[in-house]
Structure 1
Amino acid sequence: MSQVTYSLGVASPYAIGIGDFNNDNRMDLVVTNNGTDNIALLVGYGNGIFASAKMYSTRSSSSISIAIGDLNKDNRLDIAFINNDTSTIGIMLGYDEFFPIQTTYSTGTSPCSVAVGDFNHDTRLDIVVANRDSNTIGVLLGYGDGFFANQTTYSTGSWPVSIAVGDFNNDSNLDIVIANFGSNNVSVFLGYGNGSFASQTTYSTGSTPQAVAVGDFNNNTYLDIVVANADGNTVSVLLGYGDGSFANQTTYSTGSDPVFVAVGDFNNDTQLDIDITLVFHLRVCR
């Protein structure tokens, strides 16, 4: 399979999201561009080909993480993205094939990662952000109209850099897991279902965990955790007990500098596999 490339000008693409932003039942791409104060939207034609990129200003030279969801309940996908250099999160509400000027909300210092979920069971999407230099996460509850409350913060380990969301204790409330780059562990925050969370419980990982994801790796209906350990050249798998607690890590060797992790069934055997991005390579672990 040969690649098709698309120009983003002088931008340095950093994070990518996929969704149908114009409701034509075709997948589109949105890309955060580090260093150029913008994000790019590439509208899909449904045949694997995309239109030229449309650029939208973020007023930030360091937009490095993105999350997608319907933030104002108009049945159109919207985007939330991290502005690392201005310590804000930007919201752009989707209208057909374009995004208006962003609305920003203050975060902690040097936010690195963002995710969305309904943390208080009001059918409105909320936001959680990892504030790296503040050693906190910030939870911003959504009003359902594209606007959000100010963040409520919870202490993490050192340098939280990656977020994943899931129900770890089978109580139908969303929980949060954070990879703490500076303290070589993950923090698990169990949700109460009202938008608030218990204090963190930490579990050891390998050296400098860079990315975290969740999935049921042993088919017991309980969510597990996988972490990419950049300096350890390993991935850590922490199996969940279904009550919000996890077993000690089992590690697997990777290539040099694993910095991103994704989960999916890549060989159609109904077993989840792990995809690791290395600094210069891509590796799939089955």
Structure 2
Amino acid sequence: MYSTSSYPSSVATGDFNQDSKIDLAVTNSMNYTISVLIGNGNGTFKTQRLYATCYVPQQLITQDFNGDNKLDLITISYSSDMICVHLGYGNGTFTTPPKLFPTGGSLPISLVTAKFNQDSMLDVAVANYGNNTISVLFGYGNGSFQTPPTIYSAGSGPRFIVTGDFNGDTRIDLAIVNALSNTIGVFIGNIDGTFQSQRVYPTGGVGPTQLIVVDVNQDNVQDLITTNNSGSSVSICQGVGDGTFLTCEIYPTGLSPISLANNDFNGDNKQDLVVLNNGENTISILTGQC
């Protein structure tokens, strides 16, 4: 067991000091820090080093945002509505304080990075829970991002955001779960990095929290799966391949599922699901049938 700081909320992995060993970074929401634990290469880690970051940091991602082949850290501030970037030095340390970029939204809670406009520079999209929007900020390739961001309307309470290619055109699309309207919103990407208005699909469950992209039926088309925290279920929404989805199917879980992941757990070459049930301290395994 390793110490972090107050209320760790998200973890990311990477090789921060370029020694070919995996390191860890953790956002600590209650004292506004990031813990970096350098890996020893044998499954153990050195004592954390703390970096001051933005207020109430949420999801954490590691990527190279300035093209120097060194991993950087990016998170979002739930209380100050900022994107926060710590550039890496390549020796396991990072810049502090972070570079700040306004999200243009309220209560940002989840983010993704990808190359939306096909210019080889990483961009960022953020789900803003407080004002029902997503923000898209194009990257400049030097560790900074577009201001002001481009804003798109979402459903009520967007809580989690993912990327995919839902219509097979090789362009990045976005999908979100709208926790207060019990829907999934899909934003089809255009070649210039902009997105079409969201297409809305009811989850059939209540209180969706997390969303993953997986081909559950092995038809080479991406599907969407969400946990329904208040409904004690997961919703599986099969993709058609043209950017649209079939009516979501509901599968029961334990009490108050909050997170899920997929893999082939029983070696039958079918995707299975593991679901974390926050309300009863259990996990559920749903074995794939396709």
| TM-score normalised by the chain length of structure 1 | 0.95
Shift of 1:71: 1.0
> Could you tell me how far apart the structure 1 residues matched to 2:131 and 2:198 are?
15
Q: Name the residue aligned to 1:104.
A: 100
Measured in 1, the distance between the counterparts of 2:50 and 2:121 equals: 28
**Over aligned residues, Cα RMSD in angstroms?**
1.2
Cα distance in 1, alignment partners of residues 254 and 157 from structure 2: 23
Q: 1:175 to 1:47 in 2, by over 3 A?
A: same
SS of match in other structure, 1:51: coil
Deviation (angstroms), 1:28: 1.2
Equivalences for residues 1-286 of structure 1 within 5 A: 5-9=1-5, 11-60=6-55, 62-95=56-89, 96-101=91-96, 102-107=98-103, 108-150=105-147, 151-205=149-203, 206-279=205-278, 280-286=281-287
Distance 1:72 1:276 in 2: 36
Q: Cα distance 1:138–1:254, how it changes in 2: closer, same or farther (>3 A)?
A: same
The alignment's TM-score, normalised by the length of structure 2, stands at 0.93
The 3 A distance-change label for structure 1 pair 72 and 213 is same
Output the CA distance in 1 between the equivalents of 2:265 and 2:72: 28
Whole-angstrom CA distance in 2 between matches of 1:215 and 1:71: 26
- Distance (Å, rounded) in 1 between the aligned partners of 2:259 and 2:182: 16
Gaps of 5+ in 1: none
Identity %: 38
Please identify runs of 4+ aligned residues in structure 1 that moved more than 6 A: none
Secondary structure at the counterpart of residue 71 of structure 1: coil
**Structure 2: gaps (5+ residues):** none
CA distance in 1, matches of 2:255, 2:73: 32
Distance 1:122 1:111, change over 3 A: same
What's the CA shift for 1:257?
0.9
Question: How many residues are treated as equivalent by the alignment?
Answer: 280
Distance of 1:77 and 1:170 partners within structure 2: 30
